[in-house]
Amino acid sequence: MTTTNRAARAGLAAAAAVAALSLALAACGTSPPSPDDPANPGSSAPPTTTEPNTPAEVYPTGTPGTPRGSSPAHFDQHDADGVARATLAVMYASDTRIDTGPHDAIVRATRYMTTKYSAELKGAPPHAAPGARWQQWTDHHAYTTATVTAADDAGRPADTPTAAYRQYTVSAVAHGDDGYTNTQQVGTAFVELTRATAGDVWRVAAVQIR
């Protein structure tokens, strides 16, 4: 994979990860935008006027704590596969007791990411409530656990001492206190990992969900 492609992937990664989590895990039952909705790019309605230099309202984050079911087992951080799997497992492990939405789980996973990618994700907080699916989980006091399964294909770039690429299918299951369960097929995760030298630990530099 060329340097240009890696840069493009990293540039899109923050938005892709946040959007994919919100859509796959929380935004269920929402309606498509109306043709007259100013938020719809194809709307015929006149654009709304916003005050200059007014930051968009950020949806509140959760409270610190350890989510149920999201502590990956001990793994070798010099192993690219182990780091990639742990990152995805934490990204898709939300807990409605302490989280206000899926983005809180993404932030927890940044401990396995590069400084640059971590800053991108932390700097892209949600600006709206996570949706009906999340509310349903909240009603059941639910938490989620992820299943991460290797899905590499023959076209995957070969590892180098400082770069690695992995591909997985991801699903998440919500578990409620009352026995409620709900399974979501998240999609295929493409993970890019990097490290400065062959002796360093691996860190995730980008995640794309398709």
Q: Which neighbouring-strand residues pair with 185? A: 171
Q: Please name the residues in contact with 177: beta carbons below 8 A apart, sequence gap of 6 or more.
A: 140, 141, 142
Confidence at 56, pLDDT banded by 50, 70, 90: low
Residue 85 has a pLDDT of: 95
The most confident of the ranges 18-22, 26-30, 114-118 is 114-118
Q: Determine contact, residues 137/120, Cβ cutoff 8 Å.
A: no
Write out pLDDT tens, residues 141-186.
999 999 999 998 888 899 999 999 999 999 999 999 999 999 999 9
pTM: 0.75
pLDDT tens for residues 77-87? 999 999 999 99
- Residue 112 backbone dihedrals phi, psi, to 5 degrees: -100, 10
Distance CA 20, CA 29 (A): 15
SS3 128: coil
List Cβ neighbours of 39 (8 Å cut-off, separation of 6 or more): 33
Encoding tokens for residue 91? Answer: 């990204």
Task: State how far the alpha carbon of 97 is from the alpha carbons of 72, 91, 103, 104, 123, in Å.
Answer: 19, 16, 14, 12, 23
104: nearest Cα among 149, 142, 66, 146: 66
Give residue-wise pLDDT tens across range 63-79: 988 899 776 768 899 99
| pLDDT one-digit tens code per residue, 192-204 | 999 999 999 999 9
Across all residues in the chain, what is the average pLDDT?
A: 80
At residue 57 the predicted structure's pLDDT band, cuts being 50, 70 and 90, is: low
Mean pLDDT of the 105-109 span: 95
The pLDDT score that the predictor gives to residue 36 is 34
